[in-house]
Structure 1
Amino acid sequence: MTSHRTGRRSRRSLMLALAVSMTLCANPFTATAQEPEPTGATGPNEVTFPTRTLGLGPDIEFRGNSDIVTLTVPVPDGNTPAFLDTTAQLPTNIARGSIDVTSDGRLLTRVELPAGGDIVPLSIPLAGAKVENDAAVISLDLSLSAVDNICPQDWTLGSVRLRDGVVRYAGTPTLPSVVADFLPPVLERLELYLTEGPTDAESTVALDLAADVTARYSGRQVPVDVRELPPNGIPPAADSPFVRQIVVREGEDTGVELGAVPDGPPALYVRGDAETLLDQGHLVNSILSGLAVGSDVAVGAFDVAPVLAPDSTTLYDLRVSDLETSGLGIADVHLFLDQAEFGRPVRDVAIDLKGSYTPLPAAQGGLITVSAGDVQLDAWAADASGVIDRVVTVPNSSLGRLTDITVALRTTGSQQQCGLQQPVTLSIDGNSRVSSTVADPPVPVGFPSLPQTLMPQLNVATAGRTLVDVGRAVELVAGLQSLTTRPLDPTWVSIDDALTSSAPALVVAANGVLPERLQSELPLVRTEDRRFEVRNADGESTSLTFGTEVDFASLQVVRDDGRTVLVATSTDVPEELDRTIDWLSAEPGRWFELDGSVLFTAPDRDPIALVDPQTQDRDVDAASSGTNSTVTAVVVAGVALLVVGAAGAAVWAITRRRRPQSR
C-alpha cells in the first residue's frame, strides 16, 4: 500500500519554477547511488533540463517508509528521457531502501539506496519510459526499512528528498515543420520581434502572446523578450533549439507562417491588418492550433469571450487535483484554492466538503481536521461510517492569493511492526462545491491581490509609444501571468482610455509622467526633488525631505474607483525600472512572494517591498471599508533606510495632513 501525493507536491513546486540551461547521456536497467553528470555539460545527441524548468520543482519529497511519487515529464520531439540526476537526502536510520522506477505499469529499474543515511548523488535511469502526448508519466516507488524494523515517527511528514534534479534526454530535438508543432513541450525563451514603432494591433498581439504562452508553460516562468526586427524582416538565429521567435507585423497579408531562419530554428510570422492581426495571434495557442498542420495557415475571425466568475463552483473547476492520499498514522489532502482560478478576488468562501476515509478498527481512534494554513477551521472524531459531509467556512483573514486548505485524518491506538501496519486512505470528492462572493476591495490587498483583480480583461497603457515601452509592458504581463494558469486578456489602450475605463489596468510610465488623477492615488511619490510623500489607507500622508536629490523606480498597486491599477514608474530613471523588472524575472517565485503595495528600487540597491503591518492586520475589514489600500507611515523607516544608503546622510522632516479618501 502506498501514498499518492504527487499533485500536492507538484502544485507547491509550481510556485518555484525557472528556465535554466541544458545537457545529457545513456542508461542501464538497475542502478545504485552514483555521481551524476555535471549540470550544464553538453554533447552530441544530448540535452538536459533542471526539473524546475520542466515544471516539476527543485525537490521531490517522499513520506513514510513506503510512498509513490508520479512525475509527468515533458519530452521534446526527437528526444527520450535517459536519466534523472539528483542529490538524495536520506534519513539517518535506514537499514536498507530502494526506489522502483515504473512507466505504463512496467518496471524500468530499481535504484538501491545506501544504509545509514546520508546526502548522496543519485542517477536514476529513465530509459524505456513510455512517451505519449509529448510526456512520459514516471512513478518513483520508495521502500525503506528502518533499523530494528521500527517505523520512526519523523518519517511520517518526510523521509527521502531528491533535491536539485536534472533530467537528461537522449536524441536530437526535432525542429518544427508545421504551425501546430511550433511550441515545443519545453521552452527556454520566447522572443517577440516588432518594428521600432509598433502599432496598437501589434502591441496587443505581443501582450496576448506573452500571456498565452506563459499560461501554457505554467509553473516554469518562461522569459519573454521583445526585440527590434532587423531591416530584412528576419530575426537572427536563436541560440538554442528550445527558443522560439515570433515576428508580429501589421499589413495587408493575413496569416501565420513558419519561415526559415539561417542557422537556427524556424520563426513564426504573424501577419494581418488592424482587424485580423489579433485573430492570427490567437491561433498560436488556441484549441485550433492542433489543426494547423501546414507551414502557412490563416484563421478567420473568432472571439474569445471573457469567462465570468460564478458564485458557486466545484473543486475540479478550480483545478484542484490530488484529492486522495494514503499514509501510516496520518493521511492529508491539500486543497489549494487559487483566487485567480475563481476569476476574481473573493471573500466569504465556504466549502461543502464531501469525501470518504478508511473506517478505523475498534483498537484505533481518529480525528479529522480542516485547516487553512496554521488556522484550524473544524475538527471532528472519525467514526465507523467513513463518510465526510461537512460545510467549512474559510475566514477572510485566512485568505491569500493561494490558500492551502488541508483536510487531515490522524489515527491513534495500536501500532504494529514497521511495514505491517495498514495505511489509511482519505479521499475528497472533486465535485464538492465552493461558494464565494466578490471582494471589493480585495482580500488580501496589494500585490497578493494580483492577478485575480486584473480579470477578466486587462487594459495596458504606456506613457511613450516605443518598442522599449512595449517590451516593459510585455515582461510585466508575462510576470503576472506566471502566477496563474488562467490566461489574462490584455489589450493595448491609451493612458486616457485606461483611466476612463472601468476595467483594471497596467500603466507603464518609465519617465514618471503620469496623469494627475493617477499620480494623486499612488502610495509613494516624490513631490519635489528631495521630498517623498507616503500615503496610508486612511488618507493620511507622511513626507520625507532629504539633503540630496533621490531617484527611484517602483511598482505600485492602486485601487481606483473599485478597480485595480498596477503602475510601473520612476523619477525619470527608466534604467532603474528596467532593473526592477529584470530582478523580478531573475529568480523563480519573486512575483509570488511580493507583499505590500509598493516595490521600491533605489539606485545601487536591490528592490524591496514596502509592507504595512497595520494594513495586513486590517485585511478582513478592508473588504467592507471602502478605503484605499496603500502603505502607511510605518513604511517611512524602510524608505529612509533605503534612501539614506543610496544617497548619503539625509535630513528629513515629517508632517501629517489629511487628504480626501478615494471612493
Structure 2
Amino acid sequence: MVTRRLSRLIAVATIGALVLLLSPTAGAAPGDGLASAPTLSLRDLGSDPDIELYGQAGVQTIDIPVLPGTTPTVLNTTALVPTFVRTASLTVLQDNRVISRQDVPTGGPVPLTIPLAGVRVVDNAVTLMLRTYLLPLEGYCLDPSNPMRLTDTTVGYEGGERAPTAIADFLPPILRALTIYVAPDVSQGVADAAVQLAAAIAAHYGRQYPDISLARMGPGSTPPPGTARPFERQVVITEGPKAQVSLQPNDSGVPSLLVSGPANELTNQARLITSNVAQYALSTSAVAGPLRSAPQLTTNLTTIRKLGQPGVNSTAIKPEVYISLDQTRLGRASHNVRVHLRGSYTPLPEAMGGRLVASVGSDTIDRWEVTHEGVIDRWIDVPDRLLARFTSLRIQLDIAGNTGYCGEFQPLTLTIDGESEVSSEPASPPVPAGFQSLPQSLMPRVEVGIDPDSSDDTERAVTLIVGMQRLSALPLDTAVVPLQEAIDSPNPAVLIDADDWDHPEIRLPVVAPRNIPMMMDVTDDSGQPTTLTLEPALRFGSLQTVVDGKRSLLVATSNGAPEQLDELLRWLHANRQRPANLDGVAVISVPGRAPVTVLATQNVEPTPDTRAAPDIKPWWFATGVLVLLVASTAWWLWLRRRRSATPEE
C-alpha cells in the first residue's frame, strides 16, 4: 500500500516537472533570468568609469542601473593613491549604511574588489556614496589638485535578465543594442517612425550609448530574422490596416516589439515606447492615442537651474565652480550670452586679500575684488568668440596671504545659486559656425530629406540623427520628408543625397573640382594641420554644414561614391567622442585615407580669378568720358561767372 502511494506520488511529481520544463518559463524561478548577467563598465551604464576623489576626505556618488532579476554584487576598479600618502581607506555607503570598507595599498595602481553585499535596489537602480580618507606622510602636505583615482570601474551582477511580459517592461534599465527592422521597400511613414524611434531611444538612454541600427527584413516577413540577446531589443515597424504596438514572442525568450498601422499612424504608435504612457501598458498589446511631441520653447532668459544645475558649490582653500552653458539646453543657436551670478562666499579675514575670477578655458573674461559681505551679484558677459556647443564658465576665488602649514587656514566655501539667470539671443548665422553649431541650430524641429522608398537613405538618416541626439541634452523632434521638399522648405534640415549633389540652389562649402586638381587646408583625425588634393576623378563622401538664408543644413552626399559616405558614417559612429569633437564646416572621406576636416569655408570648384581686371564695356567707358567732359565744362563756366561778378579793387 505504501509502495503504491509512493509510486503514485513519484509519477505526479514527474509529470509536474515535465509541465514546468515545457512551459514558456521553463524552470525559471522568480529570480532567474534568460542568461547570467555580465560584468559591465560604468561607461556602459551611462557614467564615467574613472572616479576622482579630491582632498583628504573625498566624496563621490555613483548611480548603478539594475535589470529586473539581477543584483549588483561587486565593484571592480584600479586605485591610484597620490604620492606622499601614508595610509588610504575607501568606504562605500548607501543611505548612510556602510556597505564595504577597506584599506587601499599605496605606491602604485592596485586592483580592488569591493563587495556590495546588502545593497538595496530602488526603482531598478542603486545609488552608492564612495568616501576616501588619506593620511599624508609626516612632514608632507596633500596636493589638493591631485586626487585619489579609481579607474576602469566595472560592476558585477548576479542573476539573469527577465524576459519582458508586457509593453511596459520592454525597455530595460540597461540597453546595449536596439535593432529596428523595416521592409526593403521602406515607405515615408515607416522611415519617419524609424528615425523618430531611433532618436527617442538615444535620448532615453543618454550616456549609455546603446548601439542603434536599422536592418531590413525579407519580403513579407513580420518577425525579425534573428533573435535578441540579453541586454538587446528588436523593434519591427511595418504598415498595416490596424494601428497597434504588440509583443511578438520568439525562440530566444526575449520578445520583439511590433509597431504597425497606417502610414499616418506609425509615428504616433512608435512614440508610445518611450513616452510616460508606456508604464501603463501592462499587456502584450496596446493602441496609443494621440501622443504629440512637444518641442521646448526657447526664451531669452532662463536660469542655471533650468539648464540642469540646481546650484554649484565648492569648499577648498581656493574654491572654484563650473557653470555649464549648453546651447542644446537653450534649444537654439545663441549668442550675446550673459550670466547673472548670484551667490556667496566665505568672507575673508582682514589679513587676507582676494578676488573672484571668471574664465572660459584659458581666457579670463572678468575679475573683481572680494568684499567683506561675501555676496556675489554680478553680470558676466561671455564673448561670442569663446562660445561653443558646450561652454564651461569657471568661477574661482583666489586669495592672497598666509594660509598656514598644509593649508591649515579654514577652507572657504564658494556657492552659485541655481536662480542665477542666463540671458541670450538667437544667433543667425549660428555661433560658432560649422559642426559646433549642431544640433542646436537644427532645433526645435528638424526635417530629414531623403529619396522616397530608399532603405539605404533611411539607414543613413538613423545613423545621423542618433549621432545628433547624443550631442543634445534635449530630445530632437524629427520629420522625414522627400528630399526636394526639405530643400525647398524654410526649416532646418538634414539632407541626404548619397550619389551626387545636383541641387545648385544650395551651394556646399566643398564641391568636386571640374577640371584641375584643387588643394585644401584640412586637419587629420588627430587634429594636426595637413593638406588634401582633390582631383576631378577622385571619389569622396562628405558631411557638410551650410547656412542657407536663416536656416542651418547638414548635407550628407558624395560625388558618385555612396560607399565612401557610408564609410565616413561608420568612422564617426565607431568612436563616441568623434561627433562631439568634430569642428570646421565639412568632413571628407576619400579611399585609403582617414577622413579629414575642412576648418574654413573653401570653394574648391574652379572660379574666375577675382584679381583680374574688371570687364569694362565700351559704352560704359564712353558714358564716363562724356559725364566727365560735361562736369568739367560746368565747373569752368561757374568759375568764369564768379570772377566776372567780383568787383575790382
| Pairwise TM-score range, normalised by the shorter structure | 0.7 to 0.9
Q: Name which of 192, 199, 208 aligns with 2:187.
A: 199
Partner of residue 548, structure 2: 560
Counterpart secondary structure, 2:229: coil
Partner of residue 263, structure 1: 252
Give the CA deviation at 1:658.
8.9
Counterpart secondary structure, 1:447: helix
Q: Does 1:492 align with 2:480?
A: yes
Q: Name which of 572, 576, 580 aligns with 2:560.
A: 572
Give the conservation status (yes or no) of the 8 Å contact 1:544–1:654: no
Q: Does 1:470 align with 2:461?
A: no
Partner of residue 356, structure 1: 344
Partner of residue 14, structure 1: none
Q: Does 1:53 align with 2:44?
A: yes
Q: For residues 532 and 271 of structure 1, do their structure 2 counterparts lie closer, same or farther at Cα, with a shift above 3 Å needed?
A: farther
Q: Does 1:446 align with 2:428?
A: no
Q: For residues 544 and 350 of structure 1, do their structure 2 counterparts lie closer, same or farther at Cα, with a shift above 3 Å needed?
A: closer
Q: Given residue 277 of structure 1, which amino acid in structure 2 is its aligned partner? A: L
1:108-146 deviation per Cα after TM superposition (whole angstroms, max 9, x unaligned): 11131113x312222222332332222211111111111
Give the CA deviation at 1:166.
1.6
Give the CA deviation at 1:523.
0.8
Give the CA deviation at 1:418.
5.1
Q: Which moved more, 1:470-479 or 1:406-415?
A: 406-415
Q: Given residue 60 of structure 2, which amino acid in structure 1 is its aligned partner? A: V
Cα separation, 2, equivalents of 1:147 and 1:340: 47
Counterpart secondary structure, 2:505: helix
Aligned ranges 1:179-578 → 2 under 5 Å: 179-230=167-218, 231-321=220-310, 323-327=312-316, 329-416=317-404, 422-463=410-451, 465-518=453-506, 521-528=507-514, 531=517, 549-578=537-566
Cα separation, 1, equivalents of 2:206 and 2:602: 31
Flag the structure with more relative contact order, 1 or 2, with Cα contacts below 8 A and sequence separation at least 6. Answer: 1
Q: Does 1:136 align with 2:126?
A: yes
Q: For residues 356 and 157 of structure 1, do their structure 2 counterparts lie closer, same or farther at Cα, with a shift above 3 Å needed?
A: same
Cα separation, 2, equivalents of 1:317 and 1:514: 43
Counterpart secondary structure, 2:68: coil
Q: For residues 350 and 461 of structure 1, do their structure 2 counterparts lie closer, same or farther at Cα, with a shift above 3 Å needed?
A: same
Partner of residue 643, structure 2: none
Give the conservation status (yes or no) of the 8 Å contact 1:524–1:535: no
Give the CA deviation at 1:362.
4.0
Cα separation, 2, equivalents of 1:409 and 1:217: 37
Cα separation, 2, equivalents of 1:122 and 1:172: 24
1:236-284 deviation per Cα after TM superposition (whole angstroms, max 9, x unaligned): 3445211111111121111211111221411111112123221111111
Give the CA deviation at 1:567.
0.6
Cα separation, 1, equivalents of 2:297 and 2:476: 13
Partner of residue 639, structure 2: none
Q: For residues 264 and 514 of structure 1, do their structure 2 counterparts lie closer, same or farther at Cα, with a shift above 3 Å needed?
A: farther
Counterpart secondary structure, 2:296: coil
Identity %: 36
Cα separation, 2, equivalents of 1:548 and 1:444: 32
Cα separation, 2, equivalents of 1:545 and 1:171: 57
Give the conservation status (yes or no) of the 8 Å contact 1:235–1:261: no
Q: Given residue 218 of structure 1, which amino acid in structure 2 is its aligned partner? A: G
Q: Does 1:100 align with 2:86?
A: no
Q: For residues 98 and 225 of structure 1, do their structure 2 counterparts lie closer, same or farther at Cα, with a shift above 3 Å needed?
A: same
CA RMSD of aligned residues (A): 2.6
Q: For residues 187 and 331 of structure 1, do their structure 2 counterparts lie closer, same or farther at Cα, with a shift above 3 Å needed?
A: same
Give the conservation status (yes or no) of the 8 Å contact 1:354–1:428: yes
Q: For residues 654 and 202 of structure 1, do their structure 2 counterparts lie closer, same or farther at Cα, with a shift above 3 Å needed?
A: closer
Q: Given residue 382 of structure 2, which amino acid in structure 1 is its aligned partner? A: V
Partner of residue 137, structure 2: 147
Q: For residues 192 and 319 of structure 1, do their structure 2 counterparts lie closer, same or farther at Cα, with a shift above 3 Å needed?
A: same
Cα separation, 2, equivalents of 1:196 and 1:658: 53
Q: Given residue 330 of structure 1, which amino acid in structure 2 is its aligned partner? A: K
Q: Which moved more, 1:161-170 or 1:446-455?
A: 161-170
Give the CA deviation at 1:656.
4.1
Give the CA deviation at 1:310.
0.4
Give the conservation status (yes or no) of the 8 Å contact 1:463–1:513: no
Q: Does 1:160 align with 2:151?
A: no
Counterpart secondary structure, 1:516: coil
Q: Given residue 129 of structure 1, which amino acid in structure 2 is its aligned partner? A: V
Partner of residue 19, structure 1: none
Cα separation, 1, equivalents of 2:550 and 2:136: 59
Partner of residue 21, structure 2: none
Give the conservation status (yes or no) of the 8 Å contact 2:311–2:418: no
Give the conservation status (yes or no) of the 8 Å contact 1:216–1:485: no
TM-score where L is the length of structure 1: 0.81
Cα separation, 2, equivalents of 1:654 and 1:500: 26
Q: Which moved more, 1:254-263 or 1:298-307?
A: 298-307
Cα separation, 2, equivalents of 1:632 and 1:105: 63
Partner of residue 67, structure 2: 76
Partner of residue 109, structure 2: 119
Counterpart secondary structure, 1:132: coil
Give the conservation status (yes or no) of the 8 Å contact 2:188–2:452: no
Counterpart secondary structure, 1:129: coil
Give the conservation status (yes or no) of the 8 Å contact 1:320–1:337: no
Give the conservation status (yes or no) of the 8 Å contact 2:312–2:415: yes
Q: Given residue 587 of structure 1, which amino acid in structure 2 is its aligned partner? A: N
Counterpart secondary structure, 2:207: coil
Cα separation, 2, equivalents of 1:186 and 1:658: 61
Give the conservation status (yes or no) of the 8 Å contact 1:462–1:469: yes
Q: Given residue 229 of structure 2, which amino acid in structure 1 is its aligned partner? A: S
Counterpart secondary structure, 1:191: strand
Cα separation, 1, equivalents of 2:440 and 2:86: 49
Give the CA deviation at 1:632.
6.6
Q: Which moved more, 1:399-408 or 1:236-245?
A: 236-245
Cα separation, 1, equivalents of 2:377 and 2:394: 15
Give the conservation status (yes or no) of the 8 Å contact 1:221–1:479: no
Partner of residue 4, structure 1: none
Q: Where in structure 2 are there 5+ consecutive unaligned residues?
A: 1-33, 523-530, 613-649
1:19-49 deviation per Cα after TM superposition (whole angstroms, max 9, x unaligned): xxxxxxxxxxxxxxxxxxxxxxxx9734111
Counterpart secondary structure, 1:317: coil
Q: Given residue 368 of structure 1, which amino acid in structure 2 is its aligned partner? A: L
Cα separation, 1, equivalents of 2:534 and 2:345: 64
Cα separation, 2, equivalents of 1:293 and 1:544: 57
Cα separation, 2, equivalents of 1:287 and 1:385: 47
Q: Where in structure 1 are there 5+ consecutive unaligned residues?
A: 1-42, 537-542, 613-629, 637-652
Give the CA deviation at 1:159.
1.6
Cα separation, 1, equivalents of 2:214 and 2:610: 44
Give the CA deviation at 1:495.
1.4
Aligned ranges 1:506-655 → 2 under 5 Å: 506-518=494-506, 521-528=507-514, 531=517, 549-612=537-600, 630-631=601-602
Give the CA deviation at 1:514.
3.1
Give the CA deviation at 1:496.
1.5
Cα separation, 1, equivalents of 2:127 and 2:409: 29
Q: For residues 597 and 151 of structure 1, do their structure 2 counterparts lie closer, same or farther at Cα, with a shift above 3 Å needed?
A: same
Larger radius of gyration: 2
Give the CA deviation at 1:535.
12
